[in-house]
């Protein structure tokens, strides 16, 4: 059965979908910044370098490449900024000490201990639980919005019940996505 949504209801569903997608997107980027023992250029995503007085993202001033499973190479375009990039990486406190050879900066990822891996798994589980809470809050807000529309006689009780089921489908799908991301990242972290 296909439903014709009013403009207001359509707008409400757009907001729900947008918020859910954004929540999942934020979780993906948080997961990407967690290093799992292998070289991952995303650990540098939040690194800012003081470049001529302007805080500049490192990926806007250097090529970042993976030279082997546990080593990143940062080739800075402006050689005079090498020291500033090195300082920016140290200040970002990503847990890896940069090695500057005068031409490029190398980041060698240490092997993770079993204990550290377990700590990382706890951390990613906490992140995914926070994302699920955010998704549930989106559901709560949407249901309140539809109830308000029903009370204001903008939609019927039957319509409200149909919309609530639609919201539930979106929320269930979003939580499944979060669970899948968690399983993937957990496997990634625990793989030696």
pLDDT of 19-42, one tens digit each?
999 999 999 988 877 766 677 788
Closest residue by Cα to residue 31 from 113, 40, 106? 40
* Positions of CATH 1.10.132.20 in the chain: 7-33+113-190
Fold of the 41-108 domain: Gyrase A; domain 2 (3.30.1360)
Strand ranges for 30-70 from DSSP E? 48-51, 54-57, 62-68
Residues 6+ apart with CB under 8 A from 111: 37, 70
> What is the pTM (predicted TM-score) of this model?
0.71
Q: Domain spanning 7-33+113-190: which superfamily?
A: Ribosome-recycling factor (1.10.132.20)
Predicted pLDDT of residue 27: 93
CA separation for the pair 89, 94 (Å, rounded): 7
Q: How many CB atoms lie within 10 A of CB 33?
A: 14
pLDDT of 66-114, one tens digit each?
888 788 899 999 888 899 999 998 888 777 888 988 889 998 887 778 8
* Positions of CATH 3.30.1360.40 in the chain: 41-108
């Amino acid at each position: 059965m296909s439903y014709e949504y009013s403009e207001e209801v359509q707008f409400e569903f757009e907001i729900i979908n947008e918020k859910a997608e954004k929540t999942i997107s934020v979780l993906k980027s948080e997961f990407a910044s967690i290093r799992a023992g292998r070289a991952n250029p995303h650990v540098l995503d939040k690194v800012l370098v003081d470049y001529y007085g302007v805080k500049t993202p490192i990926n806007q001033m250097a090529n970042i490449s993976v030279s082997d499973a546990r080593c990143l190479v940062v080739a800075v375009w402006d050689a005079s900024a090498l020291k500033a990039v090195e300082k920016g990486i140290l200040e970002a406190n990503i847990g890896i000490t940069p090695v500057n050879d005068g031409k490029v900066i190398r980041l060698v990822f240490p092997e993770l201990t079993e204990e550290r891996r377990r700590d990382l798994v706890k951390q990613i589980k906490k992140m995914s639980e926070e994302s699920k809470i955010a998704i549930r809050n989106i559901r709560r807000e949407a249901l309140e919005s539809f109830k308000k529309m029903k009370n204001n006689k903008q939609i019927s009780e039957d319509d409200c019940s149909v919309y609530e089921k639609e919201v539930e489908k979106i929320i269930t799908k979003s939580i499944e996505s979060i669970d899948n991301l968690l399983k993937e990242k957990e496997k990634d972290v625990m793989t030696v």
